[in-house]
Amino acid sequence: QTLGKNRFVDIILKTTVKYGCGRPLFFSSFDADICTMLRLKQNVFPVAFVTIGATRLWEPYKDLRTRSYLSAVNFAQSANLLGTVPHAEDFLQHGALLDLGLDLGQA
């Protein structure tokens, strides 16, 4: 599965370099491994980790890094990502969570 993800990221980067340079953009994904690969394979475009958080609207992802905002922020910090793109429900229930990412310098 990792080989497939690696090829997928290579295609995204090749297409981005061919058609997207000179444009303001950033990468984002619900898949933490994809975020890591995007960050390690290039340093021009920022990468953000998208998380569903603790919502009950959808079936939870198997990857624990996306199940809570705290886990997502810690992962983003360890992978040197731009930050996280969390589901708004987390902030509506716990407004203090926003400060956690901001205190770490994340977007």
Q: Which residue has the tokens 């910090």?
A: 77
Integer Cα distance of 76 and 65 in angstroms:
9
- Number of independent structural domains in the chain: 1
Inter-residue contact 53 to 72 (CB < 8 Å) = yes
Q: What is the pLDDT of residues 30-56, one digit of tens each?
A: 999 999 999 999 999 999 999 887 777
Domain membership of residue 58 as a residue range? 2-103
Average pLDDT across the chain, whole number: 87
pLDDT value of position 107: 66
Integer Cα distance of 85 and 49 in angstroms:
6
Each residue's pLDDT expressed in tens, for the chain with a length of 107 residues: 667 999 999 999 999 999 987 889 999 999 999 999 999 999 999 999 998 877 777 777 788 888 888 899 999 999 999 999 887 877 777 777 777 777 877 76
